[in-house]
Structure 1
Amino acid sequence: MTSITVADQTFVAASGAEVADVLSAPNNWLRWWPDLILEVREDRGDKGIRWTTKGALVGTMEVWLQPSLDGVILHYFLHAEPHPALPPNRIAAANRARRVAGRNMSFELKTRLEAGRPAGVAPANAS
């Protein structure tokens, strides 16, 4: 088990391709995770992306896009070790900080891609 372990999910009323388009832009990665160096391990297109992480964390990170209803469920996973290692009394705070960073990323995507869509109304791209 890794010291930093995050698993979260958020529904986004947009297609996997739309989410992947925003998700695949490296300039967004720098904003969302400024202390991480991300290397794409697998670009899965409208199914998500997998990275290896270096910098402040050494490990793996993934966003998996699961089709659901008229959008996708954005699953966010992070499994890593802090570099340099943190004392045990700081691990819980580090996990919380990484959970918040992932949540901020997912809500930014949600806000951007659902902008102007009234609640309960299907996205314009829905068939």
Structure 2
Amino acid sequence: MSSIQVADQTFVAAPGELVAQAFASPERWRRWWPDLNLTVTEDRGEKGIRWAVRGGVLGTMELWLEPVLDGVIVHYFLHAESAGTDELAAQQHRRRVAGRAMTFELKRELEAGRSAGEAPRHVASSSAVD
């Protein structure tokens, strides 16, 4: 069992392929996790991505996209060991906050202009065609 274990989930009202495209950029990874070196071990397309992690921690990380209703749940998992001298509780908190910041950035970007309770653009436009 890893010393650092983070599991989080956030609903994003957007299609899985758009969410996957939004987090596919290594430039974004460096902004979200500046002290980590990520190597893709499995690109699952609209289902997510898995990485080997080195740098501030050593282990694995995954974003899994689960289709639900009119969007996806972004599941964020990190299983790692600390590579530095930071206290484990502080490291765990830091990684949890970074994951939440990442998913909320995606949510703000992909749901921009959508009021609470309003159908996402991809659903509203497809029902207008019916």
TM-score range normalised by the length of the shorter chain: over 0.9
State the TM-score, normalizing by the size of structure 1: 0.94
Q: Deviations over 1:83-111 (max 9, x none)?
A: 13x36xx1111101100000000000000
Please, which of 94, 110, 120 is the counterpart of residue 117 of structure 2?
120
Distance in 2 of aligned mates of 1:35 and 1:113: 26
Q: Alignment partner of 2:121: what SS?
A: coil
Distance in 1 of aligned mates of 2:13 and 2:116: 10
| 1:23-102 mapped onto 2 (5 Å cutoff) | 23-84=23-84, 86=85, 90-102=87-99
Distance in 2 of aligned mates of 1:93 and 1:82: 11
Which residue identity lines up with residue 46 of structure 2 in the other structure? D
Please state how far the C-alpha of 1:119 moved relative to its aligned partner: 1.0
Identity level (%): 62
Distance in 2 of aligned mates of 1:52 and 1:101: 17
Q: Report the number of matched residues.
A: 124
Does 2:125 correspond to 1:109? Answer: no
Please state how far the C-alpha of 1:81 moved relative to its aligned partner: 0.6
Please state how far the C-alpha of 1:112 moved relative to its aligned partner: 0.5
Distance in 2 of aligned mates of 1:122 and 1:26: 30
State the TM-score, normalizing by the size of structure 2: 0.92
Please state how far the C-alpha of 1:64 moved relative to its aligned partner: 0.2
Q: CA RMSD in A?
A: 1.0
Which residue identity lines up with residue 14 of structure 1 in the other structure? A
Which residue identity lines up with residue 65 of structure 2 in the other structure? L
Rg bigger for which structure?
A: 2
Distance in 2 of aligned mates of 1:17 and 1:120: 22
Distance in 2 of aligned mates of 1:96 and 1:41: 25
List, as ranges, runs of 4+ consecutive aligned residues in structure 1 with deviation greater than 3 Å: none
The answer for unaligned runs of 5 or more in structure 2 is: none
The answer for unaligned runs of 5 or more in structure 1 is: none
